[in-house]
Structure 1
Amino acid sequence: MIVVGRFSFPHEAHIAKASLDSAGIESCIADEHTVNAQWLYSNAIGGVRLMVAEKDADEAYKILNTDFSQSLENEIAAEEGRDVCPHCGSTDLSPHTKGKRPAFLVFILIGFPLFFYKHGYKCKQCGQFNEKL
């Protein structure tokens, strides 16, 4: 077995292990329980070690050193692209709660909350309230 990663905390090693497991690479975590029992020993013993078989070491290094942040940004941008106002087609939307003031006034007057407001988005171009997009 070869060490492909060292981590200060066991949860970090488990995240890396999950990445390797999803790629079909078997791995094991060493010194996890020692660090859990006495976390001050983590630096002294070299941290929690993630180990793989020698034949899988190169692929494991490649997976652990891959930066997936660009694919996440692309996914977020794709999701944001579909949020448009159905009335005017604008993407300039802001979160808005319709009916919040009347609900507050009813609560002040009768002392009992009546929740008849709706959450949604308000278009900054045409002013329309959209319950769901």
Structure 2
Amino acid sequence: MEQPFDDAWKTLMAFTYPHEAHLAESFLKSEGIDCVLVDEMTVQVHNFYSNAIGGIKLQVRESDYAEGLEVLKKGAYAPSVSGSSKVVRLSMSDHVDQEHCPFCQSENISLNRKPGVLMIIVYFISGLLFPFMKRSYTCFDCGQHWKFVKNTG
């Protein structure tokens, strides 16, 4: 497909590490979308500058932006907004499978840890060094968020 010469480039995504950017770039190119990486060499030479400069930017032509975003969502490089942002509370049994999504059985999940409000107050008052984080999970395939709670009997 012939692109107009004056079509501007637009940042589709930004990555912290070069290998992540190259995987997404290769996936887009395999789908026929023209793309470039910006600031890749700066991050490779000075890897601690990655966050300061906004990471390695994956850019596509403005006319390909919507299609590129859909392609990255299809390849699980970009988060899909189809799932619920609400955390579902699931009962924890003795044989809970924490390696698979309980909704779609995918292995493409992530463990999220964040401190609770009470824990932040305790940190502030006591200067405690060991964090006790709330644990929740996210499935990148179906977009669900969940956490396990203990059975009360």
Query: Which has a greater percent of helix?
Result: 1
Query: Which has a greater percent of strand?
Result: 2
